[in-house]
A and B are shown apart, each in its own frame.
Chain A
Amino acid sequence: MAEITYLEAVREALVEEMDRDENVFCLGEDIGAYGGAFKVTDGLLSRFGESRVIDTPISEIGIVGAAAGAGHMGMRPVVEMQFIDFVANAYDILTNYVATARYRAFLPCPMVVRGPSGGYVRGGPFHSQNPEAGFIHTPGLKVVYPATAEDAKGLMKSAIRDDDCVLFFEHKYLYRRIKGEMPQGDHTVPIGKARLAREGRDVSIITYAATVWKALEAAEQLEAQDGLSVEVLDLRTLAPLDDEAIFATVRKTNRVLVLHEDTRTGGIAGEITSRINESCFEWLDAPVLRVTAHDIPLPYAPSLEDFVLPQTSDIVRAVRRLAAY
């Protein structure tokens, strides 16, 4: 089988699920005739028609709310945020309406809100964000953020089949840089399960999305230069967190770095550190460290963006500190 890109993997999942279940449909801005700002939905309109690939007005509240209403009636909508930064417009309807619907009203919202996320692409303050932390904090939502093409496809298929709302973050830096060979058949990846991206003995890096690749790069470097064996855990799902996998790697290496591209304060690294502290305190040989972005809106200029976002060299420095502790 030929390899396909992360972006093509998302598209393949959409096509397969729309083929499989007539209740699945897509809606979003410029997703039909134009095929989406990044061309994720390219070709879907001609294949499935206007009633299942719906070009909408610029209305994040309107289309997320409409997806919820359709979900109540048994449909499985997939909503595209043209850039995930714009999901902030739908924050009310996602957190107040969608996230609470099952609990307060027994109304299901089997829907996916997906979109290109993240930086390293010179996108500036409104085309680079990682707003996942705000949604992880909201009971009732699930949050997925794959790093590989295989997971992008398998998790998207699972997200569409999930009976609750899944926020599906796609890393735009990975869209065309990462390729993978898709497993044969109906390839799904369970939501809520982390993936061991690299086995190691000395230090664990817990991360997700684009920084998985930075962590792997750092691990290679540390092995070559320091003889350190670094384990990399790719969370894949951020809500619900895979506590079991997190605790297993802590117990194995006893030294942990939590790494993310999101800003520092209130980022998910704090939550993961707390869980490790509560459940694995006696297994730790060093304090849990964080490598994250600075608490800064993401600037445009390459020299500024590179300074604000976590880089491989930051990870190397942090792992060395852990190993030496």
Chain B
Amino acid sequence: MAKRKGTGNRETGTGATDGNGRANAATARQPHSSRFPVPSSQSASDRASAKLTRDQKLDLYYWMRLTRSLEERLVALYRQTKVVGGLFRSLGQEADAVGSAYALERRDILSPLIRNLGAMLVKGATPLEILRQYMAKGDSPTRGRELNIHFGDTDRGFIGQISPLGDMVPVMAGVTMTFKMRRQDRVGLVYVGDGATSTGAFHEGINFAAVQRLPLVVIVENNGYAYSTPISKQTAARQFVDKAIGYGVPGAQADGNDVLAVYDVTKAAVDRARAGGGVSLIELMTYRRKGHAEHDNQSYVPPGEIERWAAENDPVDRYLVVMREELGATDQEIAAIDARVVQEVDAATDEAEKSPPPEPLDALIGVYADPPRERPLWFRDGTDRAVDVNERAEGWGTWSARTGSA
């Protein structure tokens, strides 16, 4: 249960450094600690979240609960071997994904990471899509070509990640460069983990975006571990937000397990980007309570650490306190949201299980716009059915570069 509630965030950056150029060294924390005394620099009424309606604040709970319940359902399906690949959890990080995505407008685009299921749901990905995707169904968003939550939809405003970490930072620099060139009132948001900050792609992407003053928000989710590697082996920096100084962009750090604090810090950066203020870097302090993926036994985690986080700093538990004490949410109201989530996940599961696997020959379509298909190899059974492939409608499995839609 939360020891504190409604913690805020504080901003750092080029304008807030000490004489040695170090931002907020005093606030540097070991992420292993389950408490984040990140002081609030804003009064309660100044916070962007103060402008959210009560319904919107209940909405935040719905998205976090949906994220958690959907992942719990996926665990059950994984154990039944219906999830054919790996399963990645965001347990304990739901606030960071949901609170940040909630700060975007519908026309904005984000690129999620493996632990941002919540951000994708907020942006319009459906539980049915997620389930079909994990179960490698033929009608999944990637038609069985990609795993887990690696998919996107530019119309709904999310672009799927790839596994090499940091690569989405330059890609999102290009997306937001287009917003700027076309003078569109749109903002991009890209998530990286503590580990990805060590990559060349992260560095090149954020540096280029900063130079070009692109409307891009970069969120570093500091959850303590990159697979098994603790942050002490990832960086010699005292805190990831310090890296903002090197890129000449404003940095801010916030309690990633406080959904309203995440919303506040992201909204400020999004507003700044929209107003032409360029790139911001946000470090969200959180904790990865499950392994890298479901197979990971977390043997590298010090004893008691996970349990302490679960008991003291669960983002959903903490927000329930806020809902009850500040929003006056009743048990009945909360139970109704929980029931809605269960019903939605149940219905999506039933539907997803009915879906067929992809047709093998469909593997050959859509590598290029033109030619649209690869010829089957003569020694592979099914060559005689190649006609089925050729009878697909022109452009099947491809998107138009012009419109960005199918």
Mark A residues whose CB is within 8 Å of B.
Answer: 25, 51-52, 54, 56-57, 59-77, 89, 92-93, 96-97, 100, 102-108, 110, 139-140, 142, 162-164, 240
B169 is an interface residue with CB less than 8 A from chain A: yes
Q: Contact at A107–B159, with CB atoms within 8 Å?
A: yes
Contacts of B163 in A (CB 8 A): 96
B164: Cβ under 8 A from any A Cβ: yes
By Cβ-Cβ distance, the 4 closest A-B pairs, closest first, are A69-B174, A65-B170, A62-B204, A66-B174
**Whole-angstrom distance from the CB of A106 to the nearest CB of chain B?**
4
Of the candidates A25, A92, A93, A140, the one having the most CB atoms from chain B within 10 angstroms of its own CB is: A93
Chain A residues closer than 8 Å to B142, beta-carbon distance? 104-106
**Nearest residue in A to B147 (C-beta to C-beta)?**
A104
List of B residues within 8 angstroms of A76 by Cβ = 401
- Of A72, A140, A163, the residue contacting B174 (CB under 8 A) is A72
**Do B404 and A74 touch across chains, with their CB atoms under 8 A apart?**
yes
Cβ-defined contact, B172 with A69, below 8 A: yes
Residues B397 and A106 in contact, CB atoms below 8 Å apart? yes
CB-CB under 8 A from A105, the residues of chain B are 142, 146, 150-152, 159-160
- Can you report 20 residue pairs joining A to B where beta carbons are below 8 Å apart? A61-B205, A62-B173, A62-B207, A65-B205, A68-B174, A69-B174, A71-B401, A73-B154, A74-B401, A96-B163, A102-B368, A103-B397, A104-B160, A106-B366, A108-B369, A108-B400, A110-B401, A162-B369, A164-B368, A240-B371
| Chain A residues with CB below 8 A from B145, complex form | 103-104
Nearest neighbor of A59 in chain B, beta-carbon distance: B204
* Residues on the B chain within 8 Å of A73, using CB: 154, 174-175, 178-179, 404
By a CB distance below 8 angstroms, the chain B residues around A66 are 170-171, 173-174, 177, 205, 208
Chain B, residues 351-371, CB within 8 Å of chain A (1/0): the string is 000000000000000111111
Contact present for A69 and B170 (CB under 8 Å): yes
Beta-carbon nearest neighbor of A68 in chain B: B171
Contact A56 B208 (CB under 8 A): yes
- Name which of B146, B370, B371, B401 has the most chain A CB atoms within 10 A of its CB: B401
Tell me if B16 counts as interface (CB < 8 A to partner A). Answer: no
A247 to chain B, nearest CB (A): 15
A65-B169 contact in complex given A104-B145, A108-B401, C-beta closer than 8 Å: yes
Assembly CA distance A79 to B313 (angstroms): 47
Q: Which of B178-229 contact A (CB under 8 A)?
A: 178-179, 181, 200-201, 204-205, 207-208, 211-212
Inter-chain CA distance A107–B401, complex, in Å, is: 8
Residues of B at the A interface (CB closer than 8 Å) are 142, 145-146, 150-152, 154, 159-160, 162-164, 167, 169-179, 181, 200-201, 204-205, 207-208, 211-212, 366-371, 374, 397-404, 406
Interface centre among A57, A64, A89, A105 (most CB of B within 10 A): A105
Residue in A64, A71, A75, A89 whose beta carbon sits within 8 Å of that of B181 in the complex? A75
Taking CB atoms, residues of chain B closer than 8 Å to A51 are: 181
Expressed in whole angstroms, the minimum distance between the Cβ of B83 and any Cβ of chain A is 18
A124 to B371, CA, bound (A): 38
- Chain A CB count within 10 A is highest, among B164, B170, B200, for B170
- Closest approach, in angstroms, between the C-beta of B382 and any C-beta of chain A? 19
Evaluate contact between A69 and B201: CB separation under 8 angstroms: no
- B207/A163 in contact, CB under 8 A: no
User: A69 is contacted by which of B151, B178, B399, B403 (Cβ under 8 Å)?
Assistant: B178
B201 adjacent to A92 (CB under 8 Å): yes
Given contacts A63-B208, A96-B167, A142-B368, contact A108 B398 (CB under 8 A): yes
The minimal Cβ–Cβ distance linking B186 to chain A, given in whole angstroms, is 10
Contacting pair B173 A69 (CB below 8 A): yes
| In the complex, chain B residues whose CB is within 8 Å of the CB of A107 | 152, 154, 159-160, 399
If A51-B181, A62-B204, A108-B399 touch, whether A102 touches B369 (CB-CB below 8 Å) is yes
